[in-house]
Amino acid sequence: MRAVTILAALVAAPVALCHNDQIPLTPDTLHTVSAADADAPTYRDKLLELHKSLVDIPSITGHESRVGRFLVDYLTERGFTADIQFVTPRSENGKKGEQRFNVIAWPGKTHDPKPKVLVTSHIDVVPPYIEYSISPGSITKDTLIMGRGTNDAKGSVATMVIAVEELMAADKIDDNVMLVFVVDEEVAGLGMKEFSKSLQEHPPKIPQFQAAIFGEPTESKLACGHKGALFCSIEATGIPSHSGYPWLGKSANEIMVRAWAKIQDADLGSSELYGNTTINAGILHGGLAANVVPEKSTVQFAARVAIGPQETGHLIVLERIKKILHEVDPEAFELDCSLGYGSVDCNCDVEGFDKITVNYGTDVPNLKGDFTRYLYGPGSILTAHGRNENVSVGALERAVEDYQKLILHALKQ
C-alpha cells in the first residue's frame, strides 16, 4: 500500500470551520441540551461535535483535502496511528485539481497493524454545499440535523469513529480494526480503487482482512446488498436534410426516440431480491434547429442492474440493449459504456438487525478480495443528495451502537 505517514508540515495547517448561528455546539451547550434527554448516551456530546465538524467542512468530490486533514488530526490526538494514501487529483477546466488522499487509521501506535475488520466510508459529498443546521430546542433523539453530508456519508464517518473509540476505551479491540475513509466515491470510486489496488501489492503492507463494514445511509438497517450499475451513452447518426422534405434525410432524433421507447418497455432483467432493472435517460440531446432533420442524437443513461453475478450481470443488460438498437436500425447506433457491474450481495444475517436492499451504488464492488461484506448506516438515501438531506440524533446514536455490534460480530467470525 502506498501509504505515507503523516508529517507535521502536512497536517499542521488549521482548518477553518464554518460557523452556524442556530445552536452553536460547544462542550458547555452540548452538555446543557443533552441533559434534557435522560436516555442520552455518555458519548452524545463528542458524537455531535464530531459530526458537526465534518459537515461544516465542504468536501465536494475533488476537494476533500481539508476534511481529510481534520480527520487525521482528530484521530492522532485520540490514540490512533493515521496514515494517508494519495489519490489522483480530479481535473477541472483542463487543470489539475487539488491534492487529495484517503485516511487510513488504526488504534495504537504500532506501524505493523494486523486488521481483521475494515470499517470504511467516504468523505466526499455531492454539490452544492449546504451548511449545517440543527432543529431548535433541547436535543433529543428526535432532533433533526440538516446539511450536505449529514447522512451521506459523514453520518457514517462520525458514528464509525465514535464506535471504534468506545470499543478502544473498553479494551475490546486493538489494531485488529482499521478505519479507511476514502475520496471520490460519489464520482468514480477512485479512492477505494486505490486502496484496493494497494492490498494486491506483493507483499501487501496490510494482511487480508476477514470482513469489511461499509457505511452508507441504509435507514439503520443491515443491507442484504444493492443493485448493480451500467452507465453508457448512445449516439444515433442520421442524414441531415430540409425539414420540408424529411424523406430526403434520416432523423437521428426519430430513431433514437423509437429505440429508447423500446428500451424503456423492455425486460432488462429482474430478481426476487432486487426487483426490476431500471433505466434512466439522464441527458438527451439532438439536432441543430427545428427546420433541419437532425444528423446526431445522443442519450446518456444509467441503469440500475437487478441481476447478478456482480462480475457479469450488467453484461446481460448490455446485450439486451444492443439487441434493441440493432432491431431499430442495425447501422445508426454507437454504444459506449464507462462503468458496469451486476448486483452486489452483502451479508445481512446478523441477529438484532432489520434488513433492507437498496438501489444505489456504493464502494463495495470497488474493494476486491475474499471477505465478508456488511453495508449499514444512519439516515435515508431518500433525502441524500437533496436540499433536505438530514439525519436524526437518535439515528446517529443507534449507528454507534450498531457499528460496535457489527465490529464485534465480524471479529468472532
* 185 among known catalytic residues: yes
State the burial class of residue 242 (Cβ atoms within 10 Å of its Cβ: 0-12, 13-18, 19+). exposed
Sequence-separated (6 or more) residues with CB below 8 Å from residue 383:
151, 389, 390
Nearest to 333 by CA among 238, 266, 263: 238
- Residue 376 C-alpha cell reads as 449499514
DSSP 81: E
Residue of 165, 166, 185, 389 marked catalytic: 185
d(CA 325, CA 119): 43
CA distance 347 to 410: 11
Does the CA dihedral 359-362-366-371 come out positive or negative?
negative
Q: Which residues contact 66 (CB under 8 A, 6 or more apart)?
A: 15, 57, 58, 59
| Cβ atoms < 10 Å from Cβ of 127 | 13
Q: Which long-range contacts (CB under 8 A, 24 or more apart) does 331-336 make?
A: 332/236, 332/237, 332/238, 332/250, 332/252, 332/255, 333/234, 333/235, 333/236, 333/237, 333/255, 333/259, 334/234, 334/235, 334/237, 335/232, 335/233, 335/234, 336/232, 336/233, 336/235
Query: Residue 127 gets which letter from DSSP?
Result: S
What residues contact residue 224 under an 8 Å CB cut-off, 6+ apart? 273, 345, 346, 348, 355, 356, 357
Catalytic residues: 185
